[in-house]
Amino acid sequence: MTPRLLPIAAAVLLAGGILSAQSAPNRDEITKLSKSFLRDSAELPMTVAVETVVTNAKGKKVRNAHSTTEFIFRGYNGQTGNASFRTNAGLMSYRIMHDSIAPNFAVINAFTVLAPQPDGLNDVAVEGGQSGEPFLLKTTAACKDIQFAMAGQFLYPNKKCYSTQFRVHNDEAGAWTIERFDLDVASLPAAGKIPYLGPATIRKIHAEGEVQAARLPDDPRPFLIPKRVTIRIESDKGTAVVTNQYTLKTPAKK
């Protein structure tokens, strides 16, 4: 994969082994950081508190729902570039389970950009870091041959290209850690269908979230899981917001 210069002012390019300035994370460290989230082994079951608020163009709430679902991350395959997960919920929480899928997809899509891909490494630009401030890891939307589509099954596009931004810093032990991430869908406005609102001109889709460190009793390696992820869809028919809050389910003691 041939590195390309990203059009971000004062950025340092990290691709194909090109190193950044001395104090910034290099590409190996960024890949390691992504792998601490996109693990390739051990299913990670999480309890998810879900909130969905949908408001129509007149400002009236057409959905205001809260419930709990289960999110089970099943690992990332670097050879295919795909991550897999499944969601579970009780019969009365079936609709909100569908809502909760949007933040699940968003956080996996974001971290996948930083991870090794079948055709190489994506370009990552680094900004910031002055005077102890966090570094910003940025990727641009790769929209070639991708046309936006949102069919209305979920509060998330079926097809999209997107840009990402991660805030990272060194923790007390000197290891790189992520404070938060942002994901913005490109090629908007565009026509699509939004659950609870119907056909619409979709103007903006933005996701943001935080991660948290976690451990399993039989695994000494710390890893990252989502903590709180929110996705917001703005359109001419109204606005939809879904927030997931995640808690790792620890296995029962035998």
Average pLDDT of the chain, as a whole number? 84
Tell me if 111 sits within 8 A of 37, measured CB to CB.
yes
* Mean pLDDT within 171-179: 80
Tell me if 66 sits within 8 A of 38, measured CB to CB.
no
In a domain, 121, yes or no: yes
Domain extent for 20: 12-248
| Alpha carbon distance 126, 137 (integer Å) | 5
Domain count, the chain: 1
As a whole-number percent, the residues of the chain with pLDDT over 90 amount to 50
| Alpha carbon distance 222, 245 (integer Å) | 20
In a domain, 22, yes or no: yes
| Alpha carbon distance 141, 99 (integer Å) | 24
pLDDT of residue 41: 63
Confidence of residue 22 (pLDDT cuts 50, 70, 90): very low
In a domain, 5, yes or no: no
Model confidence at 252: pLDDT above 70:
no
pLDDT tens digits for 181-216?
A: 999 999 999 999 999 999 999 999 999 999 998 877
In a domain, 6, yes or no: no
pLDDT of residue 19: 39
In a domain, 171, yes or no: yes
Burial bucket for residue 22 (CB in 10 Å: 0-12, 13-18, 19+): exposed
Higher-confidence residue of 29 and 4: namely 29
In a domain, 67, yes or no: yes
pLDDT tens digits for 83-120?
A: 778 888 877 778 999 999 999 999 999 998 888 777 77
Higher-confidence residue of 71 and 41: namely 71
The highest-confidence range among 68-72, 130-134, 242-246, by mean pLDDT, is: 242-246
Higher-confidence residue of 142 and 4: namely 142
* Mean pLDDT within 5-29: 53
| Alpha carbon distance 117, 115 (integer Å) | 6
Confidence of residue 132 (pLDDT cuts 50, 70, 90): confident
Confidence of residue 10 (pLDDT cuts 50, 70, 90): very low
pLDDT of residue 91: 73
Tell me if 223 sits within 8 A of 36, measured CB to CB.
yes
72-92: string of b/e by CB count within 10 Å (b at 16+)? ebeebeeeeeebebeeebeee
* Mean pLDDT within 151-158: 96
In a domain, 151, yes or no: yes
How many Cα atoms sit within 13 Å of 246 on the Cβ side? 27
In a domain, 85, yes or no: yes
Of 37, 66, 41, nearest to 51 (Cα)? Answer: 66
pLDDT of residue 5: 33
Mean pLDDT is lowest, of 5-19, 63-77, 187-201, for 5-19
As a whole-number percent, the residues of the chain with pLDDT over 70 amount to 88
* Mean pLDDT within 3-15: 40
| Alpha carbon distance 124, 140 (integer Å) | 8
